[in-house]
Amino acid sequence: MATDNLLSGLLAGDTDPAAISGYTDHPPRMGFFTDTSVCIGCKACEVACKEWNHIPEDGLNFTGMSYDNTGGLGADTWRHVAFIEQRKPIAGQIAGVQHAEVGAPAVDDAGSELRWLMASDVCKHCTNAACLDVCPTGSLFRTEFGTVVVQEDICNGCGYCIPACPYGVIDQRKEDGRAWKCTLCYDRLQVGMEPACAKACPTDSIQFGPLEELRERAAQRVERLHEAGVTDAQLYGHDPNDGVGGDGAFFLLLDKPEVYGLPPDPVVTTRDLPSMWRHVGVAALTLVVGVAAAFAGGRRS
């Protein structure tokens, strides 16, 4: 039983999701490291993902908010490039410096502080994945690579995974009723190819590889950026001790996560489920006692 493995795995302090899910001989956990500091917002990842996975059109909408007309992740958008224009200087760019002492014309300092943030968002392939936990059909499953994938021939469109995801990733495809999301190109992984988005990324902002390796590389990258004066640079989803046990797809961001539409401290909802079941049990007993007492106190007929 998967449940037995899950429990024994968790009790043993195991954090390898494939091993917890019962794979004995499996490849290393694979994932994405999306370094947004080198993202140029070209959206090649969005296009490559749609082409490879044959994803239908996700609405030719005009959001009117920025250069981003995709909006966010959903059933038909498995990579989403966020675009943020800010009145903040890029590191190393000293904005608003006046050179009045040498007679140079003064410039209104507010005008020269500008930066663009671009970040390609994707399913996080959580270590503790709420979508997978709550799926009642077993349609969502853990692959041997430690990723989380929907089996579309099983999904009955109950929709439970959608509000369970703390990142707003998975959603229902209206035309066919089922839930869809990034598979981390499970088909490509099985034949030793990297996912379509990472393959197409021209700046290597999307890096694919064994998660351990990516985490080391990311730690070095953020350190180098800090040395270069980019003090805003921070890793997101890299920590195995966070509320979802660490993400299989993690990020290097240049601002707070919520600026990119990411939750600052997501927690897998099923962490509280044991307590929820206890409250349900006590409430059910309360109902029995209350209704029974209604008879004990009411012998008036």
Q: Among residue numbers 66 through 85, which ones bind another protein (CB under 8 A)? A: 66, 71-74, 82, 84
Q: Does 245 participate in binding another protein (rule CB under 8 A)?
A: no
Helices (H), 111-269: 130-134, 161-164, 186-190, 196-200, 211-227
Q: Does 299 participate in binding another protein (rule CB under 8 A)?
A: yes
> Distance (Å, rounded) from C-alpha 192 to C-alpha 187?
9
- In the set 164, 185, 225, 253, which binds another protein (CB under 8 A)? 164
- In the set 104, 190, 203, 220, which binds another protein (CB under 8 A)? 104
Pick from 5, 9, 8, 2: nearest CA to 245:
9
Closer CB to another protein, residue 206 or residue 244? 244
Stretch that binds another protein, among 35-43, 172-180, 194-202, 230-238 (CB under 8 A): 172-180
Q: Does 266 participate in binding another protein (rule CB under 8 A)?
A: yes
C-beta of 199: minimal distance to another protein in Å? Answer: 27
Ramachandran assignment for 57, one of left (phi > 0), alpha (psi -120 to 50 degrees), beta (any other)? beta
> Distance (Å, rounded) from C-alpha 238 to C-alpha 246?
6
C-beta of 28: minimal distance to another protein in Å? Answer: 25
> Distance (Å, rounded) from C-alpha 29 to C-alpha 48?
23
Q: Does 168 participate in binding another protein (rule CB under 8 A)?
A: yes
Of residues 130 through 149, those in contact with another protein by CB under 8 A are 130, 133-139
> Distance (Å, rounded) from C-alpha 171 to C-alpha 226?
37
Q: Does 59 participate in binding another protein (rule CB under 8 A)?
A: no
3-state secondary structure (DSSP) of residue 141: strand
C-beta of 283: minimal distance to another protein in Å? Answer: 3
C-beta of 101: minimal distance to another protein in Å? Answer: 8
Q: How many residues bind another protein (CB under 8 A)?
A: 93
Of residues 275 through 294, those in contact with another protein by CB under 8 A are 275-277, 279-288, 290-294
- In the set 30, 48, 165, 252, which binds another protein (CB under 8 A)? 165
Beta-bridge partner residues of 172: 179
Taking only Cα atoms into account, the Rg of the chain, rounded to an integer number of angstroms, comes to 24
Q: Does 111 participate in binding another protein (rule CB under 8 A)?
A: yes
C-beta of 192: minimal distance to another protein in Å? Answer: 31
Contact 41, 81 (CB under 8 A): yes
Q: Does 219 participate in binding another protein (rule CB under 8 A)?
A: no
Contact 96, 88 (CB under 8 A): no
Stretch that binds another protein, among 14-22, 42-50, 205-213, 264-272 (CB under 8 A): 264-272
Helices (H), 95-232: 130-134, 161-164, 186-190, 196-200, 211-227
> Distance (Å, rounded) from C-alpha 231 to C-alpha 209?
26
Stretch that binds another protein, among 36-44, 47-55, 170-178, 183-191 (CB under 8 A): 170-178
Residue with tokens 């001790």: 241
Residue with tokens 């709550």: 134
Q: Does 40 participate in binding another protein (rule CB under 8 A)?
A: no
